[in-house]
């Protein structure tokens, strides 16, 4: 780490045609680079990981060769899991705003800026219990994110005295864990098949594109999503987003921007090396406009979730939050 400039790698899917969440991340980066003074002297290196493990591993090698001091991104748990070991070998901190895979934080260099699988699963099950849904059919796409989250939901269901079932026709509700595209496809397929039971989706489905063009039928409350809490609507970051982009901030924006604020704080210190940078991230409380940034056992301390339901106007938050 040089005494004059922090070198920050940025990696995720950058093409909004692949996932709308890419646009959200790019907006957070645009806001951060223009509004956070501490980022003015940072050197940046941008590499698309394709949300693919093999590509992410190649990205990680290129980040190491470039001399990154830390990396922000790897939204996909598949990508983050592939990249994390190489970063760990070189004491490069990986700040991930969106990768929920529980096992990621077993790497001492990975710091998660969002809820984990375990938290999402536990709070999803708390909601199911409150609705008296005892039998749950749990499905996932083929992503590491979806598979791990589905496993966490099944495990949590058993721990809460609920019954995961293998026959969806015996279920009180269906749960689908996975990426946005596959979540949209599952919703469409199940409703077209005449399924009227409650459907519950996970964090990647929190998007204005979820349910687009999909009739919600006579029971709009029957489709739910458990995701990250978006934060207060009237905070400066939310107002700035509406001013710049003429729309509310979407999921992953706040998480990304908050981590950028933390990077800005540390970039102004001219820390001597990567070890000192990682120690500061793991052990200090960094003041940011979006609240204190602090990690406990590599998990952000104040991670919280939000429940949404799909109605005629799209996803709407349900109160109270968990």
Residue 218, pLDDT score:
45
Residue 215, pLDDT score:
56
Q: Which residues contact 250 (CB under 8 A, 6 or more apart)?
A: 20, 21, 24, 206, 207, 208
- How far apart are alpha carbons 168 and 120 in whole angstroms? 22
Q: Tens digits of per-residue pLDDT, 15-45?
A: 999 999 999 999 999 999 999 999 999 999 9
Domain 7-114+233-300: CATH superfamily is Response regulator (3.40.50.2300)
- How far apart are alpha carbons 270 and 72 in whole angstroms? 18
Residue in 79, 78, 8 with CA at minimum distance from that of residue 46: 8
Q: Please identify every stretch of the chain with a pLDDT value under 70, giving residue numbers as ranges.
A: 1-4, 213-221, 320-322
Domain with CATH 3.40.50.2300 in the chain: 7-114+233-300, 117-229+305-318
User: Between 144-159 and 77-89, two packed helices, what is the crossing angle to 10 degrees?
Assistant: 100
Q: Tens digits of per-residue pLDDT, 77-94?
A: 999 999 999 999 999 999
299 upstream amide cis, omega within 30 of 0: no
- How far apart are alpha carbons 309 and 322 in whole angstroms? 14
Residue in 119, 98, 116 with CA at minimum distance from that of residue 106: 116
Distances (CA, A) of 164 to 126, 158, 171, 175: 15, 7, 8, 10
* Residue count (the chain): 322
Residue 235, pLDDT score:
86
Residue 24, pLDDT score:
96
Residue 4, pLDDT score:
66
Q: What is the DSSP string of 166-181?
A: S-GGG-SEEEEES-HH
Can you list the alpha helix ranges (DSSP code H) found in 252-303? 253-267, 274-283
Domain 117-229+305-318: CATH superfamily is Response regulator (3.40.50.2300)
Distances (CA, A) of 265 to 46, 112, 209, 243, 293: 21, 18, 34, 25, 10
CA dihedral 263, 41, 45, 13 (to 10 degrees): 50
- How far apart are alpha carbons 204 and 131 in whole angstroms? 23
């Amino acid at each position: 780490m040089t005494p004059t400039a922090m070198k920050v790698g940025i990696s995720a899917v950058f093409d909004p045609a692949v996932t709308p969440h890419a646009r959200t991340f790019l907006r957070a980066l645009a806001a951060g680079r223009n509004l956070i003074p501490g980022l003015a002297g940072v050197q940046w290196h941008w590499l698309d990981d394709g949300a693919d493990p093999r590509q992410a591993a190649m990205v990680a090698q290129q980040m190491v060769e470039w001399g990154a001091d830390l990396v922000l991104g790897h939204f996909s748990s598949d990508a983050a899991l592939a990249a994390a070991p190489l970063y760990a070998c070189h004491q490069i901190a990986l700040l991930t705003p969106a990768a929920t895979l529980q096992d990621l934080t077993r790497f001492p260099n990975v710091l998660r800026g969002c809820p984990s699988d375990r938290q999402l699963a536990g709070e999803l099950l708390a909601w199911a219990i409150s609705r008296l849904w005892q039998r749950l059919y749990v499905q996932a796409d083929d992503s590491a994110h979806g598979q791990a989250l589905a496993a966490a939901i099944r495990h949590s269901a058993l721990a809460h005295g609920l019954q995961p079932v293998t026959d969806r026709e015996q279920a009180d509700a269906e749960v689908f864990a996975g990426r946005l595209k596959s979540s949209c496809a599952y919703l469409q397929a199940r409703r077209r098949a005449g399924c009227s039971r409650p459907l519950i989706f996970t964090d990647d489905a929190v998007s204005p594109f979820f349910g687009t063009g999909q009739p919600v039928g006579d029971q709009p409350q029957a489709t739910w999503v458990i995701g990250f809490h978006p934060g207060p609507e009237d905070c400066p970051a939310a107002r700035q987003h509406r001013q710049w982009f003429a729309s509310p901030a979407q999921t992953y924006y706040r998480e990304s921007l908050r981590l950028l604020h933390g990077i800005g704080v540390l970039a102004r210190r001219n820390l001597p090396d990567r070890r000192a940078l990682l120690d500061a991230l793991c052990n200090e409380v960094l003041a940011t406009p979006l609240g204190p940034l602090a990690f406990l056992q590599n998990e952000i301390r104040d991670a919280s979730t939000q429940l949404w339901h799909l109605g005629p106007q799209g996803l709407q938050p349900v109160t109270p939050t968990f």
